[in-house]
Amino acid sequence: MGVPFEALLPYGIIITMFGVSGYGLHYVKRFANDGKKARWNRDLWDRQMMERDQRITGSFRGQSSNHQAPTGFEVSNPWKIENRIY
């Protein structure tokens, strides 16, 4: 009265597919974040600081602890502009 092995095949498929999506998302997220853990729950301050990081290092997750900004940093500050409707 053993369980026929055909009954366990779907479980193998389920585990494999969840594993593929889980590990795949993990690696895609790491790749998109320069190999670091992804940021989460970012507020406006965090987002504008990440834009500033990009102006300094060229990448949203790049970090640098220099005390001097690179050349041209002081004129690369973007103004947020919006359309006028009148």
Partner 1 sequence: MAQRDARFNQTVLVDTTPMPDHIPKVEEVGATSAPLMSAAYFIGDRCKAFNDDFMKCKDEANGRGEIDCLKEGRKVTRCAASVIKDINTHCLDQFKAHWECLENNNHQLWECRRAEMQLNNCVFDKLGLKKTIPGTPEGQVPVHLRPKQKYAQYPGPQW
Interface residues with partner 1 (CB under 8 A) are 36-37, 39-41, 46, 49-50, 52-53, 56-57, 61-70, 72-83
Which residues have a Cβ under 8 Å from the Cβ of 42 and sit 6 or more positions away?
A: 50
With residue 50 as reference, give the H or E element that holds it: helix 44-57
CB of 8 to partner 1, least distance (A): 35
Judged by CB, which is closer to partner 1: 27, or 73? Answer: 73
Contact assessment for residue 59 and residue 53, using Cβ atoms and an 8 Å cutoff:
yes
Judged by CB, which is closer to partner 1: 4, or 78? Answer: 78
CB of 32 to partner 1, least distance (A): 15
Judged by CB, which is closer to partner 1: 24, or 70? Answer: 70
d(CA 48, CA 32): 18
CB of 51 to partner 1, least distance (A): 9
d(CA 78, CA 63): 20
